[in-house]
Amino acid sequence: MSGKHTVLASTLALIVLGGLAGCGASGTPPAAKPVGQVSVAYAGSLQWVNDQEIGPAFTQATRNRYEGRGGGSFGIAQEIRSGTIQANVFESLGYAPIRLLEPRLTTWAVSFAASPLVVAYNPKSPFAPQLNAIRDGRLPLKELFLLMANPTFHLGRTNPNTDPQGQAFYWMMELAAKHYGLGADWAQNVLGPLDNPRQVYSEEGILTVLQAGGLDASSAFLSEAKERHLDYIVLPNWLNFADPSENSWYHQATITLNNGKTVQGQALTVDITTVGRPTAAAQSFVRFVLGSRGRALMQRAGFDTFTPSVLGNPKAVPSGVRAMVR
């Protein structure tokens, strides 16, 4: 073969090989490139469902890249407000953390789900026989709170100053004391100060400590307990802070935070908003979460979902989201 023909053949071979490489070994077209990116900051209890379920499903459905970051809702809100972290979407437990972003970064949110508060426990705990009996209904629920008062019982919770779950657990203990006649100071005596270092752990780490045997029991949401296959005790609606119809009862519990602010008990719903200028990808994520696929994934993860409703200023809801809410 002449030199001219050799160069031509080599060029043709490279073109063919390049085309095959672009299609993949099977000859299929390459995967479509992402059309945008959304950065989602969320309450730590949403980590698994967001990062393992909703995020991948959202990317597959929309070709928008997903990036998530979790933590206590109040702490995350403070980081967003100060510019320490950048986020296009914020998912909070309760509307109070979102108010920290008003009016500069948002003035609205959509409430669409809730996860009941439960008491998770370690099946190898020395108190496991009693905890199993309470879980199965062989002992009354009141026995759970009597166990917690045992000085050798290692109880874990999150910090009410930074995390709504920590607030709900404190409120729950106050309402249990009221209902069972345990005394006005009972919750304070069992829990100690809000940031008690013997009990307080980060929302991201507390259940790992529980599973490792460092705690007999801890606060948790039902969704977290299911995700980690934990043993847990179900709390009735009047103690689980997931039923808005119980708000008049929830309101009877209050705590005063370290900054001097008093907060009143209320149902902890999952609320979502865009942050700053609502990008197309951010609106797309909110629509996906509020849509049938997103709600199904939330339900499978242990969340109760309900008809989305607007909190704050309804006129501020972006047009790309407005059709999803009442």
Q: Domains of the chain: which residue ranges?
A: 1-30, 36-115+268-322, 117-264
CA distance 294 to 177: 37
**Does this chain's domain 36-115+268-322 share its CATH topology with 117-264?**
yes
pLDDT computed for residue 34 by the predictor: 63
Pick 117-264's CATH classification: 3.40.50.1860, 3.40.190.10, 1.10.486.10, 3.30.70.270: 3.40.190.10
| The CATH number of domain 36-115+268-322 is 3.40.930.10 | no
Question: Are the C-beta atoms of residues 91 and 63 closer than 8 Å to each other?
Answer: no
Residue 237, C-beta contacts closer than 8 angstroms, at least 6 positions apart? 116, 243, 245, 246
Q: DSSP letters along 50-83, please?
A: IIIIIHHHHHHHH-EEEEEEEE-HHHHHHHHHHT
Cα separations (Å) of 297 from 4, 144, 204, 219, 301? 61, 32, 21, 23, 6
Give the per-residue pLDDT at 113: 94
pTM of the model: 0.76
Condensed to tens digits (0 to 9), the pLDDT of residues 102-134 reads 999 999 999 999 989 999 999 999 999 999 999
Q: For helices 292-300 and 280-290, give the axis angle rounded to 10 degrees.
A: 60
Positions in the chain short of pLDDT 50: 1-32
Residue of 267, 243, 80 whose CA lies nearest to 168: 267
- Which of 267, 203, 199, 216 is CA-nearest to residue 239? 267
pLDDT the model gives residue 254: 96
Identity of the amino acid at 174: E
